[in-house]
A and B are shown apart, each in its own frame.
Chain A
Amino acid sequence: MTQVTDEVTRRELLRRAGLGAIVLVYGGMGAKTAVAGAPKFAHKQLKGTLRILQWSHFVPAFDKWFDNTYTKVWGRKNDTEVIVDHISQAELPARVAAEAAARKGHDMVATLAPLPQYEDLAIDHKEIVQEVTKKRGKMANVVHRSIYNPKTKRYFGFADNYAPDPLNYRIDEWRAVGLKPTTWDNVLKAAPRLRARGHPIGLGMSNEIDSNMFLMSLMMCFGGFIQSREHRVILNSKGTREALRFARELFRRGMTNEIFAWTASSNNNGMIAGRLSLALNAVSITRSLELSNTELADKIAFAPMPKGPHGRMGLEHVMHTYMVWKFASNKKAARKFLADLEITYRGAFLNSKLYNFPAWPNAVKNIRRPLMADDAKPRGKYGILDTISRKYTYNVGYPGTANAAMGEVFDTYLIPEMFARVAQGRVTPDAAAREYHRRIGRIYAKWRKRGKI
């Protein structure tokens, strides 16, 4: 008897589940989330739709402003429906690769570093650059060198903004050890003392974007470069070997093993937890803390890249680059959208909480004023970003320009890999410089053969 009751109950359960499924499927069809897909806007479809894919900005309010205010107003003015889709920055390359393979997708995609390897699939953005230059003067040099291919004489992308990459350091902890992170030598001296105080330095040597930026910058400060002005590989140099030795020493004296498993959020987590005494990052650390822990936020200051034997040279933290596909269905709207966005960039700059620096400096007049006027303490601390952006920010691949080979070196994280192996003692600095020079040389040979450098 019991068994019968049991079976009936389960059957009833399955029957209800089936009914539930029907309700959900058909109910879903009525809603926007239906299996049948998003509803079409019949009347707008004819007049044009512009589809954009970009990252989820670390300031949620920026996406709200961009998606619900800026693009809506622009869309009404230009009789175009603008649809903005967001995904996590780490997954953008996979999605871009899928669109490139399918030759279908959004009209334009924006990535946090230029993707010159897709030059053949992207329009020449020269027209947009000229339009903005006509209204706002010269583009920032670091931007020009990041999106222009001198070999093909094409703009393979259009950067609307970039973020300077300052040092974030704990004023109280550095004061306690009696030093300032003004030179790499000072950083090395302070590192063991800071670690002993329970506040190590957090500079990554892992396969992720922040490590790439830090280590390429470090190399430049020591006179090591990946490529020459003429796009010849020059990695195996005295400067690179010096940088490798320095990084090994810095790890041994003042960092922990976690830097080999660094992710883009590690420096944020470490600083927000009050553990790290120094990190290299844009303003996301302090902006997060200003919302949750102002006391700690006030103890963090910004500084330019420390000075090395070759000077003070840093890279941009991100270079937000749009790429209009050749197969885009609304190239005309895409061109106008990008030009208009840059020409009136002040709104974007302010809504990004001063993260998005305009690619055309004159697109935001007197940029120092809003930076200095920010409420954060110490008062005016964001002002240094202006100096960093103008004086100490170079493009990835300096002294050459960004190109497909450099893009591949960047995307395959060869530089962090090289530094990590040396720091772990698995290879000597001299041998590493030789080995990676060869490996990078093969990448350059491949792209040279394809006529891209």
Chain B
Amino acid sequence: MRKVAPYLVTGPFAIVLAFPFYWMLWTAFKTDQDLYNVENVPYTWTHGSPTFHNISFLFSDTQYRTWLQNTVIVGIVVVAITLAIALPAGYALARLSGQVGQSLGVGIFLTYLVPPTLLFLPLSRVIAELGLQDRLLALVLVYPSFTIPFSTWLLMGFFKTIPRELEDAALVDGASRLRTLRSVVFPVSLPGILTVVIFSFSLVMNEFVYALTFITTSSQKTISTGIYTELIRGDVFFWQGLMAATLLPSIPLALLYNVFLDRFIAGFTGGAFR
């Protein structure tokens, strides 16, 4: 019973969480005749299904490849900016500011909670003033506003779990603070850093409001708005294309999560008991 219990608890969760992906996979290969026939069992393929037409439509009739590329570019640059700022900030808040650091950490996290639906109007003014409308740079500039607060907060908690003695030993051995960070603190913080990388990249991939309001040129769109624009036309939804377009980028991301799952969990729970 002890062996079975975890499966009984997690099994239903796994089924519920995996079902949307299963549905996407199944729908992505359906023909119109199959999809819209209410007499069909939806979990089978009939009436000419499976078809690869929906996938080839994405690559031949839309700028899907470009949107994927844009998403990757923005994601990588934003992750780099996030790490460059959140790593030292998180460390400083954890080590150097004591109680003040704790309060500042909470304050920074609170800024993460301000929703984009409130911020997009004033930010659109800023983007316009900077002449960045319809440029990927607009997203590169704005996305760190929500990835940095969360990452700083997360890393702050993680750095607190690293024993001070490790750093003290390095400092006693003559290493500078920077060297200590580079050679001692960051290597043991890899789970936290990986968590920030994966989480920030996921946030960038999923972001919609800024991408919608700052970018309208097709060739500059990211996946979240590109597929929404091209595959929802008025009141006509191209369901199979939508499913295929969302399924494809989620596969590498899911694999990445799985490869680093242990470290990801360690990164998230690192500061939980401090």
Contacts and interface: CB of A to CB of B under 8 A. Distances in A.
B55 interface: no
Given A38-B217, A87-B212, A94-B212, A265 B235 contact: yes
A33 B233 contact: no
B62 to A, nearest CB: 10
B185 interface: no
Interface residues of B, number: 49
A99 B134 CA distance: 12
Given A36-B137, A60-B233, 4 more contacts: A28-B73, A35-B74, A94-B209, A95-B213
A193 B236 CA distance: 29
B234 A55 contact: yes
**In the complex, the 3 A-B pairs of residues with the closest C-beta atoms, listed nearest first:** A58-B234, A37-B135, A104-B128
B216 A56 contact: no
Given A25-B73, A37-B136, A38-B217, A293 B235 contact: no
Interface string A284-310: 100010011100000000000000000
Interface string B192-235: 00000000000000000100111011111000010011101111
Interface in A269-289: 269, 272-275, 281, 284, 288
A85 B80 contact: no
Contacts of A86: 216, 218, 229-230
A293 B34 CA distance: 11
A274 B236 contact: no
Contact of A37 (B61, B128, B134, B225): B134
A103 interface: yes
B77 interface: yes
B69 interface: yes
Which among B32, B72, B233 has the highest number of chain A CB atoms within 10 Å? Answer: B233
A230 interface: no
Interface residues of A, number: 54
B120 interface: yes
A33 B121 contact: no
A305 to B, nearest CB: 19
Contacts of A33: 66, 69-70, 73, 136, 219-220
A102 B235 contact: no
A176 interface: no
Contact of B216 (A85, A102, A104, A284): A85
B258 interface: no
Given A85-B216, A95-B216, A269 B38 contact: no
A87 B73 CA distance: 22
Nearest to A209: B235
A106 B219 CA distance: 16
Contact of A35 (B120, B127, B137): B137
A268 B236 contact: yes
B237 A269 contact: yes
Which among A33, A98, A267 has the highest number of chain B CB atoms within 10 Å? Answer: A98
B188 to A, nearest CB: 12
Interface of A: 21, 24-25, 28, 31-38, 53, 55-60, 83, 85-91, 94-95, 97-99, 101-106, 210, 264-265, 267-269, 272-275, 281, 284, 288, 291-293
Interface of B: 32-33, 36-38, 61, 66, 69-70, 72-74, 76-77, 80, 120-122, 124-125, 127-129, 132-137, 140, 209, 212-214, 216-220, 225, 228-230, 232-237
Contacts of A98: 120-121, 124, 213-214
Contacts of B230: 56, 86
A275 B37 CA distance: 9
Contact of A102 (B66, B70, B127): B127
9 contacts: A24-B72, A28-B70, A35-B136, A37-B132, A85-B217, A89-B234, A103-B125, A292-B32, A293-B36
A282 to B, nearest CB: 8
Contacts of B74: 35
Nearest to A163: B234
A21 B201 CA distance: 13
A34 B136 contact: yes
B236 A288 contact: yes
B222 to A, nearest CB: 10
Nearest to A32: B219
Given A33-B66, A265-B237, A105 B128 contact: yes
B77 A35 contact: yes
Contacts of A58: 233-236
A234 to B, nearest CB: 31
B134 A274 contact: no
